[in-house]
Amino acid sequence: MIDAGISPNIYSYNILIGRLSKEGRMKEVECVFDMMIDSCQVPNTVTYNSLIDGYCKNGLIGKARQTFDTMLDTGCTPNVVTYSSLIDGYCKEGLIDKAMQTFDTMLDTGCTPNVVTYNSLIDGYCKKGLIDKAMLTFDTMLDMGCTPDVVTYNSLIDGYCKKGLMDEALQILDTMLSKGCAPNVVTYSSLIDGYCKKGLMDEALQILDTMLSKGCAPNVVTYNSLIDGYCKKGLIDKAMQTFATMLDMGFTPDVVTYSSLFDGYCKKGLMDEALQILDTMLSKGCAPNVVTYCSLINGFCKQRGMDDAMRLFKEMSSKWQTPDAITYT
Protein backbone atom coordinates (compact mmCIF):
# COMPACT_ATOMS: atom_id res chain seq x y z
CA MET A 1 0.00 0.00 0.00
CA ILE A 2 2.76 2.40 1.00
CA ASP A 3 4.92 1.36 -1.99
CA ALA A 4 1.99 2.22 -4.26
CA GLY A 5 1.89 5.72 -2.84
CA ILE A 6 -1.27 5.14 -0.83
CA SER A 7 -1.17 6.33 2.78
CA PRO A 8 -2.79 3.92 5.27
CA ASN A 9 -5.49 5.46 7.44
CA ILE A 10 -6.46 4.72 11.04
CA TYR A 11 -8.72 1.85 9.96
CA SER A 12 -5.95 0.18 7.95
CA TYR A 13 -3.52 0.43 10.84
CA ASN A 14 -6.10 -0.89 13.30
CA ILE A 15 -6.85 -3.91 11.12
CA LEU A 16 -3.15 -4.78 10.85
CA ILE A 17 -2.42 -4.15 14.54
CA GLY A 18 -5.47 -6.19 15.53
CA ARG A 19 -4.48 -9.14 13.35
CA LEU A 20 -0.84 -9.16 14.48
CA SER A 21 -1.89 -8.87 18.13
CA LYS A 22 -4.20 -11.89 17.82
CA GLU A 23 -1.25 -13.86 16.44
CA GLY A 24 0.99 -12.74 19.31
CA ARG A 25 3.43 -10.96 17.01
CA MET A 26 3.94 -8.07 19.39
CA LYS A 27 7.31 -6.87 18.08
CA GLU A 28 5.69 -6.36 14.67
CA VAL A 29 2.72 -4.69 16.34
CA GLU A 30 5.07 -2.21 17.96
CA CYS A 31 6.73 -1.49 14.59
CA VAL A 32 3.36 -0.86 12.93
CA PHE A 33 2.27 1.31 15.87
CA ASP A 34 5.45 3.41 15.51
CA MET A 35 4.78 3.76 11.77
CA MET A 36 1.27 4.89 12.62
CA ILE A 37 2.56 7.60 14.97
CA ASP A 38 5.23 8.68 12.43
CA SER A 39 2.52 9.10 9.79
CA CYS A 40 0.65 11.46 12.16
CA GLN A 41 -2.26 9.03 12.63
CA VAL A 42 -3.78 9.35 16.09
CA PRO A 43 -4.39 6.00 17.85
CA ASN A 44 -7.94 5.48 19.07
CA THR A 45 -9.59 3.15 21.57
CA VAL A 46 -9.58 0.27 19.09
CA THR A 47 -5.83 0.68 18.56
CA TYR A 48 -5.03 0.68 22.25
CA ASN A 49 -7.41 -2.21 22.93
CA SER A 50 -5.57 -4.39 20.41
CA LEU A 51 -2.22 -3.52 21.95
CA ILE A 52 -3.38 -4.11 25.53
CA ASP A 53 -5.11 -7.39 24.68
CA GLY A 54 -2.09 -8.62 22.73
CA TYR A 55 0.29 -7.82 25.57
CA CYS A 56 -2.03 -9.46 28.11
CA LYS A 57 -2.48 -12.61 26.05
CA ASN A 58 1.31 -12.94 25.82
CA GLY A 59 1.91 -12.45 29.53
CA LEU A 60 3.37 -8.96 29.09
CA ILE A 61 1.19 -7.35 31.72
CA GLY A 62 3.72 -4.61 32.46
CA LYS A 63 3.63 -3.41 28.86
CA ALA A 64 -0.15 -3.70 28.86
CA ARG A 65 -0.33 -1.39 31.87
CA GLN A 66 2.11 1.08 30.30
CA THR A 67 -0.06 1.16 27.17
CA PHE A 68 -3.16 1.72 29.29
CA ASP A 69 -1.46 4.63 31.07
CA THR A 70 -0.37 6.10 27.71
CA MET A 71 -3.94 5.76 26.50
CA LEU A 72 -5.16 7.82 29.45
CA ASP A 73 -2.36 10.39 29.03
CA THR A 74 -3.36 11.00 25.41
CA GLY A 75 -6.98 11.58 26.40
CA CYS A 76 -8.28 8.38 24.85
CA THR A 77 -11.17 6.93 26.86
CA PRO A 78 -10.99 3.22 27.82
CA ASN A 79 -14.11 1.13 27.33
CA VAL A 80 -15.35 -2.19 28.67
CA VAL A 81 -13.04 -4.08 26.27
CA THR A 82 -10.00 -2.16 27.54
CA TYR A 83 -10.73 -2.81 31.20
CA SER A 84 -11.74 -6.42 30.63
CA SER A 85 -8.51 -7.20 28.76
CA LEU A 86 -6.39 -5.65 31.49
CA ILE A 87 -8.36 -7.39 34.25
CA ASP A 88 -7.99 -10.73 32.46
CA GLY A 89 -4.26 -10.14 32.03
CA TYR A 90 -3.82 -9.52 35.74
CA CYS A 91 -5.93 -12.56 36.62
CA LYS A 92 -3.96 -14.82 34.29
CA GLU A 93 -0.78 -13.71 36.06
CA GLY A 94 -2.36 -14.41 39.46
CA LEU A 95 -2.36 -10.69 40.33
CA ILE A 96 -5.93 -10.68 41.55
CA ASP A 97 -5.46 -7.58 43.77
CA LYS A 98 -4.32 -5.59 40.72
CA ALA A 99 -7.29 -6.95 38.80
CA MET A 100 -9.68 -5.76 41.52
CA GLN A 101 -8.05 -2.33 41.59
CA THR A 102 -8.64 -2.08 37.85
CA PHE A 103 -12.21 -3.28 38.32
CA ASP A 104 -12.82 -0.59 40.95
CA THR A 105 -11.37 2.06 38.61
CA MET A 106 -13.66 0.79 35.90
CA LEU A 107 -16.72 1.25 38.11
CA ASP A 108 -15.53 4.68 39.30
CA THR A 109 -15.36 5.90 35.70
CA GLY A 110 -18.91 4.74 35.05
CA CYS A 111 -17.91 1.88 32.74
CA THR A 112 -20.26 -1.09 33.20
CA PRO A 113 -18.62 -4.56 33.41
CA ASN A 114 -19.91 -7.31 31.15
CA VAL A 115 -19.91 -11.10 31.33
CA VAL A 116 -16.30 -11.23 30.08
CA THR A 117 -15.15 -8.94 32.89
CA TYR A 118 -16.86 -11.00 35.59
CA ASN A 119 -15.68 -14.27 34.04
CA SER A 120 -12.06 -13.16 34.28
CA LEU A 121 -12.41 -12.23 37.95
CA ILE A 122 -14.27 -15.43 38.82
CA ASP A 123 -11.70 -17.57 37.02
CA GLY A 124 -8.87 -15.63 38.63
CA TYR A 125 -10.24 -16.28 42.11
CA CYS A 126 -10.88 -19.95 41.32
CA LYS A 127 -7.35 -20.43 40.01
CA LYS A 128 -6.03 -19.00 43.28
CA GLY A 129 -8.27 -21.37 45.25
CA LEU A 130 -10.37 -18.47 46.56
CA ILE A 131 -13.70 -20.06 45.73
CA ASP A 132 -15.63 -18.02 48.34
CA LYS A 133 -14.54 -14.78 46.68
CA ALA A 134 -15.37 -16.25 43.30
CA MET A 135 -18.91 -16.94 44.53
CA LEU A 136 -19.22 -13.41 45.91
CA THR A 137 -18.24 -12.08 42.49
CA PHE A 138 -20.79 -14.43 40.93
CA ASP A 139 -23.48 -13.04 43.24
CA THR A 140 -22.46 -9.47 42.36
CA MET A 141 -22.69 -10.40 38.70
CA LEU A 142 -26.26 -11.59 39.18
CA ASP A 143 -27.18 -8.52 41.24
CA MET A 144 -25.92 -6.33 38.39
CA GLY A 145 -28.23 -8.11 35.97
CA CYS A 146 -25.39 -9.77 34.07
CA THR A 147 -26.28 -13.27 32.84
CA PRO A 148 -23.64 -15.97 33.46
CA ASP A 149 -22.59 -18.12 30.51
CA VAL A 150 -20.96 -21.52 30.16
CA VAL A 151 -17.53 -20.00 30.86
CA THR A 152 -18.76 -18.60 34.18
CA TYR A 153 -20.18 -21.90 35.34
CA ASN A 154 -17.16 -23.86 34.11
CA SER A 155 -14.80 -21.72 36.18
CA LEU A 156 -16.87 -22.25 39.33
CA ILE A 157 -17.24 -25.98 38.74
CA ASP A 158 -13.51 -26.35 38.12
CA GLY A 159 -12.75 -24.26 41.19
CA TYR A 160 -14.84 -26.51 43.42
CA CYS A 161 -13.47 -29.67 41.79
CA LYS A 162 -9.88 -28.54 42.32
CA LYS A 163 -10.66 -28.23 46.04
CA GLY A 164 -12.34 -31.64 46.07
CA LEU A 165 -15.76 -30.13 46.85
CA MET A 166 -17.75 -32.29 44.48
CA ASP A 167 -21.17 -31.74 46.05
CA GLU A 168 -20.80 -28.00 45.59
CA ALA A 169 -19.59 -28.52 42.02
CA LEU A 170 -22.72 -30.55 41.27
CA GLN A 171 -24.88 -27.80 42.79
CA ILE A 172 -23.37 -25.35 40.31
CA LEU A 173 -24.08 -27.84 37.52
CA ASP A 174 -27.72 -28.05 38.66
CA THR A 175 -27.96 -24.24 38.68
CA MET A 176 -26.40 -24.13 35.23
CA LEU A 177 -28.93 -26.62 33.86
CA SER A 178 -31.87 -24.86 35.55
CA LYS A 179 -30.87 -21.64 33.77
CA GLY A 180 -30.86 -23.38 30.39
CA CYS A 181 -27.08 -23.20 30.00
CA ALA A 182 -25.80 -26.39 28.34
CA PRO A 183 -22.63 -27.97 29.77
CA ASN A 184 -19.78 -28.60 27.34
CA VAL A 185 -16.69 -30.80 27.25
CA VAL A 186 -14.90 -28.46 29.68
CA THR A 187 -17.73 -28.78 32.21
CA TYR A 188 -17.81 -32.55 32.14
CA SER A 189 -14.02 -32.91 32.03
CA SER A 190 -13.66 -30.78 35.18
CA LEU A 191 -16.15 -32.97 37.03
CA ILE A 192 -14.50 -36.16 35.81
CA ASP A 193 -11.09 -34.87 36.87
CA GLY A 194 -12.46 -33.87 40.27
CA TYR A 195 -13.80 -37.35 40.92
CA CYS A 196 -10.64 -39.00 39.60
CA LYS A 197 -8.46 -36.90 41.88
CA LYS A 198 -10.54 -38.19 44.81
CA GLY A 199 -10.22 -41.77 43.58
CA LEU A 200 -13.98 -42.00 42.91
CA MET A 201 -13.74 -43.73 39.55
CA ASP A 202 -17.33 -45.03 39.50
CA GLU A 203 -18.63 -41.47 39.90
CA ALA A 204 -16.23 -40.27 37.19
CA LEU A 205 -17.56 -42.93 34.82
CA GLN A 206 -21.15 -41.88 35.61
CA ILE A 207 -20.29 -38.35 34.49
CA LEU A 208 -18.68 -39.78 31.35
CA ASP A 209 -21.86 -41.75 30.61
CA THR A 210 -23.96 -38.60 31.10
CA MET A 211 -21.58 -36.69 28.84
CA LEU A 212 -21.87 -39.26 26.07
CA SER A 213 -25.66 -39.52 26.42
CA LYS A 214 -25.89 -35.76 25.87
CA GLY A 215 -23.90 -36.07 22.65
CA CYS A 216 -20.84 -34.33 24.12
CA ALA A 217 -17.62 -35.95 22.89
CA PRO A 218 -14.71 -36.38 25.33
CA ASN A 219 -11.34 -34.86 24.49
CA VAL A 220 -7.71 -35.61 25.39
CA VAL A 221 -8.13 -33.85 28.76
CA THR A 222 -11.09 -36.10 29.61
CA TYR A 223 -9.20 -39.28 28.84
CA ASN A 224 -6.07 -38.06 30.62
CA SER A 225 -8.05 -37.59 33.82
CA LEU A 226 -9.48 -41.11 33.62
CA ILE A 227 -6.10 -42.67 32.83
CA ASP A 228 -4.44 -40.80 35.68
CA GLY A 229 -7.26 -41.73 38.04
CA TYR A 230 -6.92 -45.43 37.25
CA CYS A 231 -3.12 -45.27 37.56
CA LYS A 232 -3.33 -43.56 40.94
CA LYS A 233 -5.64 -46.38 42.10
CA GLY A 234 -3.18 -48.99 40.81
CA LEU A 235 -5.66 -50.14 38.16
CA ILE A 236 -3.17 -50.10 35.33
CA ASP A 237 -5.14 -52.57 33.18
CA LYS A 238 -8.15 -50.23 33.18
CA ALA A 239 -5.85 -47.33 32.45
CA MET A 240 -4.53 -49.15 29.39
CA GLN A 241 -8.08 -50.01 28.30
CA THR A 242 -8.93 -46.31 28.47
CA PHE A 243 -5.74 -45.53 26.57
CA ALA A 244 -6.79 -47.99 23.84
CA THR A 245 -10.25 -46.39 23.67
CA MET A 246 -8.61 -43.00 23.37
CA LEU A 247 -6.60 -44.23 20.37
CA ASP A 248 -9.65 -45.89 18.80
CA MET A 249 -11.50 -42.58 19.04
CA GLY A 250 -8.75 -40.93 17.01
CA PHE A 251 -7.19 -38.89 19.81
CA THR A 252 -3.44 -38.31 19.98
CA PRO A 253 -1.99 -38.92 23.45
CA ASP A 254 0.15 -36.12 24.85
CA VAL A 255 2.95 -35.98 27.40
CA VAL A 256 0.37 -35.92 30.22
CA THR A 257 -1.15 -39.20 28.99
CA TYR A 258 2.17 -40.98 28.82
CA SER A 259 3.43 -39.56 32.11
CA SER A 260 0.38 -40.96 33.92
CA LEU A 261 0.99 -44.40 32.41
CA PHE A 262 4.69 -44.26 33.36
CA ASP A 263 3.76 -43.36 36.90
CA GLY A 264 1.22 -46.19 37.06
CA TYR A 265 3.64 -48.85 35.83
CA CYS A 266 6.56 -47.54 37.89
CA LYS A 267 4.53 -47.53 41.11
CA LYS A 268 3.76 -51.20 40.50
CA GLY A 269 7.41 -51.95 39.74
CA LEU A 270 6.64 -52.92 36.12
CA MET A 271 9.66 -51.21 34.63
CA ASP A 272 9.80 -53.20 31.37
CA GLU A 273 6.25 -52.11 30.58
CA ALA A 274 7.11 -48.52 31.50
CA LEU A 275 10.03 -48.58 29.06
CA GLN A 276 7.74 -49.95 26.35
CA ILE A 277 5.49 -46.94 26.88
CA LEU A 278 8.55 -44.70 26.60
CA ASP A 279 9.44 -46.33 23.27
CA THR A 280 5.88 -45.80 22.03
CA MET A 281 5.96 -42.19 23.17
CA LEU A 282 9.23 -41.48 21.36
CA SER A 283 8.10 -43.28 18.19
CA LYS A 284 5.05 -40.97 18.09
CA GLY A 285 7.24 -37.89 18.32
CA CYS A 286 6.08 -36.95 21.82
CA ALA A 287 8.98 -35.58 23.85
CA PRO A 288 9.25 -36.67 27.50
CA ASN A 289 9.30 -34.00 30.19
CA VAL A 290 10.76 -33.86 33.68
CA VAL A 291 7.68 -35.60 35.16
CA THR A 292 8.18 -38.51 32.76
CA TYR A 293 11.79 -38.98 33.73
CA CYS A 294 11.14 -38.50 37.44
CA SER A 295 8.63 -41.37 37.38
CA LEU A 296 11.02 -43.67 35.53
CA ILE A 297 14.07 -42.77 37.62
CA ASN A 298 12.10 -43.17 40.84
CA GLY A 299 10.77 -46.52 39.64
CA PHE A 300 14.22 -47.86 38.84
CA CYS A 301 15.64 -46.57 42.14
CA LYS A 302 12.95 -48.42 44.07
CA GLN A 303 13.68 -51.60 42.10
CA ARG A 304 17.41 -51.17 42.77
CA GLY A 305 17.98 -50.66 39.03
CA MET A 306 20.51 -47.92 39.65
CA ASP A 307 22.34 -48.37 36.35
CA ASP A 308 19.11 -47.76 34.45
CA ALA A 309 18.23 -44.87 36.75
CA MET A 310 21.59 -43.20 36.10
CA ARG A 311 21.27 -43.79 32.36
CA LEU A 312 17.90 -42.04 32.32
CA PHE A 313 19.21 -39.24 34.53
CA LYS A 314 22.07 -38.56 32.10
CA GLU A 315 19.70 -38.81 29.14
CA MET A 316 17.36 -36.29 30.73
CA SER A 317 20.22 -33.92 31.44
CA SER A 318 21.76 -34.12 27.98
CA LYS A 319 18.76 -34.35 25.66
CA TRP A 320 15.57 -32.87 27.01
CA GLN A 321 15.10 -31.72 30.56
CA THR A 322 17.00 -30.05 33.37
CA PRO A 323 16.60 -32.15 36.53
CA ASP A 324 14.57 -30.53 39.29
CA ALA A 325 14.62 -30.90 43.07
CA ILE A 326 12.29 -33.92 42.92
CA THR A 327 14.65 -35.74 40.54
CA TYR A 328 17.64 -35.26 42.85
CA THR A 329 15.72 -36.50 45.87
Do 31 and 74 have their domain in common? yes
Is residue 177 situated within a structural domain? no
Are both 7 and 98 inside the same structural domain? yes
- Looking at the predicted structure, is the pLDDT value of residue 318 above 70? no
Answer yes or no: is 105 within a domain: yes
Same-domain status, 319 and 290: yes
- CA dist 54 and 85 (Å) reads 9
User: By percentage, how much of the chain surpasses pLDDT 90?
Assistant: 69
Least confident of 6-15, 58-67, 281-290: 6-15
| Residue type (1 letter), 41 | Q
Supply the CATH number for residue 64's domain. Answer: 1.25.40.10
Shared domain check, 95 and 2: yes
Residue 223 falls inside a structural domain: yes
Task: Report the C-alpha gap between 291 and 88 in whole angstroms.
Answer: 30
Distances (CA, A) of 20 to 49, 78, 81, 249, 299: 13, 21, 18, 35, 47
Q: Which residues contact 227 (CB under 8 A, 6 or more apart)?
A: 239, 242, 243, 246, 257, 260, 261
Helix axes 26-38, 45-57, angle to 10 degrees: 160
Question: Which stretch of 67-81, 114-128, 260-274, 303-317 has the lowest confidence by average pLDDT?
Answer: 303-317
66, 95, 112: which is the final residue of a domain?
112
Predicted confidence at residue 302, as pLDDT, reads: 61
176 is a domain residue: no
> Model's pTM, two decimal places?
0.86
Are 33 and 98 contained in the same domain? yes
- Residue 153: give the domain boundaries: 120-170
Q: Report, as an integer, the average pLDDT of 62-90.
A: 97
Residue 307 has pLDDT above 70, yes or no: no
Runs of H (alpha helix) within 23-114:
26-38, 45-57, 61-73, 80-92, 96-108
pLDDT at 325: 42
pLDDT of residue 328: 39
Q: Residue 202 sits in a domain of what CATH number?
A: 1.25.40
Q: Is the pLDDT of residue 154 over 60?
A: yes
